[in-house]
Structure 1
Amino acid sequence: MRNIQLIFKKEDIEPEQMKGKVAVVFDILFATTTITAALEDGAESVFAVYDQAQAREKARSLDEDSYILAGEEQGRTIDGFYHPLRTYLNPIVKGKHLILSTTNGTVAINRSSQAEHLYTSSLLNNREMAKHLVEQHKGDQTIVLVCSGTSGHFTMEDFYGAGSLLSYLVEKETFNLSDAAQTALQFYNGLSLSPYELLRSTKIGNILLDFGMHERELKFAAQEGSLHTICKYDQDSRQIKEVE
């Protein structure tokens, strides 16, 4: 029986301990939702970087018309970057490399990059991700669900996102769940709120709305199971690409 573990926030990731494992990173509001949407909308790839300095360094290594810079720091759009939400990126991302820098999600991706297989997921594609994990990883490798959290703190939306993926996984196969993973599954299954109501009630959701984000972004992020895109990190190129 395969094991599933859960990490509550990016600061708890021990990079060396990710080796040999299958990792799935969540930053529901919004990095992994943005990555899923960008690849669905035709982006060539996503470079998830630590910070804006690394984003600019990556941009200098690419042809000027081949990429888009998008990012936020503590919820505010980085000067000279596009806002990292689908509304802003959808019209311009097709055929481009998206260089994405966020406060939490892209950092969690980098800290998890020593995993043998690394994916990003969201409510949008959790159903398809569960199917992919069961079909493509049939051995005894441990699956680690990584919640990005925010600035050293647990976030409800990432925990909920992990619980969502777990609900689809346990429908397909029997797993040995850690206490943290079991708690995420029970939380997801026991909640009476809709995905949108859950996201709307979170601290981060309210902070972003106060910063001027439109409600439609929350409604989009809450569309559970609406996309079929599988987002996988390529160890050699350090790009996240859609699995064909």
Structure 2
Amino acid sequence: MLNMMKIHLLLKKEDIDSNKMHNNKIVVVFDVLLATSTVVSALAFGAKEVIPVLDGTAAEEESKGMEEGSFVLVGEYQGKTIDGFLSPNPLALKEKIQGKTIILSTTNGTVALKNSSEANAVYAASLLNSRAVANHILKEYKGETIILVCSGSSNEFNLEDFFGAGCFIDSLLKQYNGEIDLTDSAIASHRFYQTNKQNGADVLKASRVGQMLSINGFEKEIDFISQEGAFTVIPKLEGKKYIISV
């Protein structure tokens, strides 16, 4: 008999309570525009690993002592590329990261990943790889509580993360034969996804961050990020520091 799976959904990174991340909690972080989509794409494009950090200063500190040419600094703060860093737009990074370590700093997604590090396992997911991560979790874990973290934006709810989490829940429900206990926020996320799944790119573009990206000429990036199941990489935080594909 299969164990009941419990799924909680946090609407923004500020809701993370590190004291509640122990006791076999599995965390899946979503920052669809852009951080977790960037992590997924970077690993799919051949990056060696991704090191998420809290801010630009931490990124530069992390790079000290690393061999020149072995890493790239990638990051934004409040939507603007950090001076001296590459922009965290997946397609723009594609030709610049093969075999390299990416030190990534973003306003929300990398903070959510770092602040979830006390959990038993932490994964990065987006529309690009939700199916693969869901399948992996079902194979690797039995009876643990899954906490889906929508990174949000500076203590505000984000539509695109809510949609991405709903996509992940949909993948779980389709693959799991046992009972699943969903919180109300998880139910709402799944139903929102079900209602809008044929128009994922439109949902992303309608969001506040999506509108900002479109205005700045990054509509192609949104179209790329909205491709469900494009990649099978499973980014996992190892040693509370490095994200690699497992």
Aligned to 1:93: 97
Alignment partner of 2:180 out of 166, 169, 175: 175
Distance 1:92 1:21 in 2: 35
Distance 2:155 2:173 in 1: 29
Alignment partner of 1:185 out of 169, 190, 211: 190
Q: Cα offset for 1:215?
A: 1.1
Distance 1:21 1:213 in 2: 39
Distance 2:114 2:65 in 1: 19
User: In the superposition, relative to structure 1, how do residues 84 and 230 fare at CA in structure 2: closer, same or farther (>3 Å)?
Assistant: same
Residues 215-241 of structure 1: per-residue CA shift (max 9 Å, x gap):
1100001001111110000025x1000
TM superposition outliers: structure 1 runs of 4+ over 2 Å: none
Matched, 1:161 2:164: yes
Aligned to 1:125: 129
User: In the superposition, relative to structure 1, how do residues 72 and 205 fare at CA in structure 2: closer, same or farther (>3 Å)?
Assistant: same
8 Å CA contact retained: 2:44, 2:233:
yes
Aligned to 1:151: 154
Greater Cα shift, 118-127 or 185-194: 185-194
Aligned to 1:104: 108
Distance 1:182 1:192 in 2: 15
Query: What's the TM-score, normalizing by structure 1?
Result: 0.96
Distance 1:13 1:114 in 2: 11
Greater Cα shift, 187-196 or 57-66: 187-196
What are the residue-to-residue correspondences of 1:1-244 with 2, within 5 Å? 1-19=4-22, 20-137=24-141, 139-173=142-176, 174-191=179-196, 194-210=199-215, 212-235=216-239, 238-243=241-246
User: In the superposition, relative to structure 1, how do residues 100 and 179 fare at CA in structure 2: closer, same or farther (>3 Å)?
Assistant: same
Residues 6-60 of structure 1: per-residue CA shift (max 9 Å, x gap):
0000001001111130000000000000000000011000000000000000011
Query: Which amino acid letter does the alignment assign opposite residue 240 of structure 1?
Result: I
8 Å CA contact retained: 2:213, 2:219:
no
Distance 2:197 2:87 in 1: 32
Distance 1:109 1:160 in 2: 18
Distance 2:68 2:53 in 1: 18
User: In the superposition, relative to structure 1, how do residues 70 and 131 fare at CA in structure 2: closer, same or farther (>3 Å)?
Assistant: same
User: In the superposition, relative to structure 1, how do residues 2 and 192 fare at CA in structure 2: closer, same or farther (>3 Å)?
Assistant: closer
Residues 175-221 of structure 1: per-residue CA shift (max 9 Å, x gap):
111111111111111226511111111111111222x2421100001
Q: Provide the aligned length of Structure 1 versus Structure 2.
A: 240
Q: CA RMSD in A?
A: 1.1
Distance 1:27 1:123 in 2: 10
8 Å CA contact retained: 2:29, 2:125:
yes
Percent of residue pairs identical:
41
Greater Cα shift, 168-177 or 90-99: 168-177
User: In the superposition, relative to structure 1, how do residues 157 and 201 fare at CA in structure 2: closer, same or farther (>3 Å)?
Assistant: same
